[in-house]
Amino acid sequence: MLETWLTRELRIEVPILGAPMGGRAGGELTGEVSKAGGLGLLGAARYATPQWVAEEAAVAREIGGRFGVGLMTWALDDDDTLLDAALAEEPALVSLSFGDPAAYVPRVHAAGIPVVSQVNTLDDLRVAERAGVDLVIAQGGEAGGHTGRIGTLPLLQELLDATDLPVVAAGGIGTGRGLAAVIAAGAEGALIGTALLASPETIGPGYARDRVVEAGSADTVYTSVFDQARSQPWPSRWGGRAIANEFTEAWHGAEGSEETLAAAYDPADPDLGVVYAGEAVGLVHSARPAGEVVRHIAADAERLLRRFA
Ligand SMILES: Cc1cc2nc3c(=O)[nH]c(=O)nc-3n(C[C@H](O)[C@H](O)[C@H](O)COP(=O)(O)O)c2cc1C
């Protein structure tokens, strides 16, 4: 058993958090990650509703018992009803990422729930520390979905040297080798997203799972064109890493107005719709159940780390 701060404090068996992936991590995926010994997090996108949170939380609870919820901090600044909806489900962990969580941390703590925040720079770390979060996640630029620009390893090393908070690593971790590497470096575990994206328990279009199985590690692009096409008002410092397709070939780096991009975008078409995924997509070769993925990553990491025990 790999025992770290994360397993002790969250009372989980393996030091793996299932990423809160908006549009992909509903109750089933979240529940299966928890059932396998990690802690799954529901991905409440900006466009999610309180009803969605309640329904998916019920599914996650039924399958895996405990679970967490991930929210987008910048979106709460306009409307924080999703935070109330999340707290009503008594999650084991709340993730407040992409923005300063200071205004929301006291409410989560008042409910007796720990708070984690994904950070992309040293400055973000200081913001999260001042806000009073309980742990931080070093989210590297190779991660799937919205992220920063610094690679996971440089960022992780920098943060580990700079803080007394527990640090978890995210971005590019898709096998036991990756988990072993970050734990050996001093991380308390890993948050994994892309490695779960071909699993049958994900929500979203079926073609997304196929694209994840087919794509290699060189096939992703860090871009804002999908946010523009979908009128998602993300602050400009966060682009999203997605699998490249005809849409990104045509519009990434081109001058296209939001209207033009919206007209060209088609979520029903794999060549024109978005499949957010990170560079670890090259490590996903088949559609394996999420629980199997989590158990394998944990067991392989433990075996590798034992070589040095
Ligand atoms: C499809 C997808 C959607 C995501 N949505 C969110 C989200 O809603 N909130 C969030 O905090 N992080 C989100 N992320 C980022 C993940 O939490 C995490 O940082 C990332 O998946 C880790 O890197 P990896 O994909 O290489 O495992 C998303 C990632 C992906 C792949």
- How far is it, in rounded angstroms, from Cα 216 to Cα 238? 23
Q: Which of 96, 146, 201, 212, when mutated, tests ligand 1's pocket best, judged by the most ligand atoms within 8 Å of its CB?
A: 146
CATH class of 13-203+285-306: alpha beta
Contacts of 287 (CB under 8 A, 6+ apart): 198, 199, 200, 209, 213
Handedness of CA 258, 259, 261, 262 (dihedral sign): positive
CA distance linking residue 167 with residue 186, whole number of Å: 8
| Per-residue pLDDT reduced to its tens digit, 47-100 | 999 999 999 999 999 999 999 999 999 999 989 999 999 999 999 999 999 999
Kindly tell me the sign of the dihedral angle through the C-alpha atoms of 67, 132, 298, 210.
positive
118 SS3 class = strand
Q: What is the pLDDT of residue 171?
A: 98
pLDDT (average), residues 119-145: 98
Q: How many angstroms does the Cα of residue 68 sit away from the middle of ligand 1?
A: 14
State yes or no: pLDDT of 260 exceeds 90: yes
Q: How far is the CA of 193 from the centre of ligand 1 (A)?
A: 5
pLDDT band at 1 (very low <50, low <70, confident <90, very high): confident
What CA–CA distance (Å, rounded) separates 113 from 106? 10
Ligand 1: which residue has its CA nearest to atom 30?
A: 145
- Predicted confidence band of residue 255 (pLDDT cuts 50, 70, 90): confident
Cα 183 to averaged position of ligand 1 atoms, centre (Å): 20
Question: Where exactly are the structural domains of the chain?
Answer: 13-203+285-306, 206-264
Residue nearest to atom 11 of ligand 1 (CA): 97
Each residue of 277-307: pLDDT tens digit? Answer: 999 999 999 999 999 999 999 999 999 999 8
Q: Which residues have CB under 6 Å of ligand 1?
A: 19-22, 24, 43, 45, 70, 72, 95, 97, 118, 139, 143-145, 170-173, 191-195, 276-278, 280
**E-only strand ranges, 140-250:** 145-147, 167-170, 190-192, 220-223, 239-243
